[in-house]
Amino acid sequence: ASHNIYQGIDYAKEQNFGVLAYTPHRKFCFEQEFSQYAESKDILLIPGIEIEIGKKHIVILNCDKEAENIKSFEDVANYKKRNPNILILAPHPYVFSSKSLKSDFLKNIGLFDAVEMTVFSNSVFNFNKRAEIEAKKYGKPFIATSDTHFLKDISRGYALINVGEKTIEAVLDAVKKGDFQN
């Protein structure tokens, strides 16, 4: 990506976003000044990380630097027990990629609080169909995200989340309850 977090926040503001999750790959790069800058733009910034187990991606929101040490699904479960205020998202579980969870998704379904509706689907390859079916079957919210690597992609997928107050806790609680529209 050829932008920094401040440019991302500015662009999100231009696109009328009120909440943004910052989830760099493999590194927890969150600084309090990022939150303060976002707040100055009336955006709630949620810290996060996209970890890898093997090569398979998992997104953790509202985590801390300790999340970088997660190396197994058992580590995810233990981290979740120690940090109940996080949200664990299964990103793009069935996309044709070594980075997708595929069979590990259902084997570890209990770890996930929500399932991503990926923007990588199209009319030829609908990667969301099976993910949505499995999400419904297991009572997991199915939420649209942009998986932004380039700023222009930020509006490709998003959710309108219903919250009374714009706090991380309220946003994650609403997502876990499925109180949003894609």
Stretches where the chain sits below pLDDT 50 are none
Q: What is the pTM of this model?
A: 0.94
What tokens were used for 47?
A: 């810290």
* C-alpha 44, offset from chain centre: 14
pLDDT at 146: 87
Give the pLDDT of residue 69: 97
Residue 18: strand pairing partners: none
Tokens found for residue 76: 């995810």
Q: Say what the pLDDT of residue 124 is.
A: 78
Backbone phi and psi for residue 24, each to the nearest 5 degrees, phi listed first: -60, 155
In tens, the pLDDT along 131-170 reads 999 999 999 999 999 888 778 888 889 999 999 999 999 9
Please give the helix or strand (H or E) that residue 116 lies within, else none.
Answer: strand 114-117
Q: What is the pLDDT of residue 1?
A: 55
- Per DSSP, the three-state class of 114 is strand
Tell me the three state secondary structure of residue 89: strand
What pLDDT score was predicted for residue 17? 96
Helix spans in the chain (H): 5-14, 32-40, 73-82, 103-107, 128-137, 168-177
Full 3-state SS string of 40-85:
HCCCEEEEEEEEEECCEEEEEECCCHHHHHCCCHHHHHHHHHHCCC
pLDDT at 123: 76
